[in-house]
Amino acid sequence: MPSSSGKSINEMQEVIPNLFLSGIEPAESRTQLNANGITHIIQITPVLYSPFPSTFVYKIIPVLDMDETNLIKHFPDTYKFIHEAIEEGGKVLVHCMGGASRSVTIVCAYLMKSKNMTADEAVSAVQLIRSIAEPNDGFMTQLYLYADIEFDVNIKRTKYRRFLIACMTLQRVNRRCIDDEILASDITENKVSEEVVVVSGGPSSSPTDSTPPTQQKIVSSLKCKKCHHALVAHDNVMTHIPGGQPQSQLQYWKHGIFLQVFDAIKSGVPTLTPPFTAD
């Protein structure tokens, strides 16, 4: 990888050929951008303003540098943006405000998938180029998760759904609002996940000769008594040990059940604000 010797942290660094990393200053300097041949820019700042929209191709991700920010959901799109730009002969700059956390995380995610690196290997490689590179703890967790789910950011992945619930809990506690309600989409549009299993036995999960008890799927769903719309299918159930996660100690989780209103019925319960618990 290119060396950063003699490079200031206020300049952009080339992490791998045609992929650059920086803070906001170089991204606002037409001179620096042109000098490095930049054609595409991923801007990860809270504002939607881009300084040179008619000159460069922008992808803007308006998020904050906070542990509970869901950045992993942008990994597939940013990977595609970078990959296609480089394949077409372009050069990509990824920047946030300081060029230390958000932008570094996006670059690391790209390196992990394109170079088959672990999260730690990717961060170390970037730090050799840019010494101040240091994703926050939440972003590091997301990089580890990215590897665990084999770079497939999909709500059908149990680990990813657990992460989304943890994110929503932190957002609810810290900001009293939830940014992303992807888990509340209509269950009829999200079909069976192969990962969903039942840990404990029961009438709906009695073992068969060919399937172990721990791998029995929940085949029934809860439906509205009045309209018969499916409310909870087995793909929307994630078994867990109550109190087994740090967020379980919060008041919202005291009963071991986390509920969120699905899009299909949300209009009928406007006064409810997730997350909330069931008695």
Is residue 96 part of the annotated active site? The answer reads: yes
Q: Which residue is associated with the tokens 């930049």?
A: 38
Looking at the DSSP bridge assignments, the partners of residue 230 are: 223
Distance CA 3, CA 13 (A): 9
Buried b (16+ CB within 10 A) or exposed e, 240-249: eeeeeeebbe
Select which of 96, 167, 224, 227 is catalytic: 96
Long-range CB pairs of 114-118 (<8 Å, 24+ gap) are 114/79, 114/83, 115/16, 118/147
Looking at the DSSP bridge assignments, the partners of residue 43 are: 60, 95
Q: H or E element: which one contains 93? A: strand 92-95
Q: What is the 3-state secondary structure (H, E, C) of 1-28?
A: CCCCCCCCCCCCEEEECCEEEECHHHHC
Radius of gyration of the chain (CA): 22
Distance CA 176, CA 180 (A): 13
Q: Which residue is associated with the tokens 């940013």?
A: 78
- For residue 212, the SS3 value is coil
Alpha helices in the chain (DSSP H): 24-27, 30-35, 75-87, 102-115, 119-129, 137-148, 158-175, 263-266
For 107: left if phi > 0, alpha if psi spans -120 to 50, otherwise beta; the answer is alpha
Q: Which residues are catalytic?
A: 96
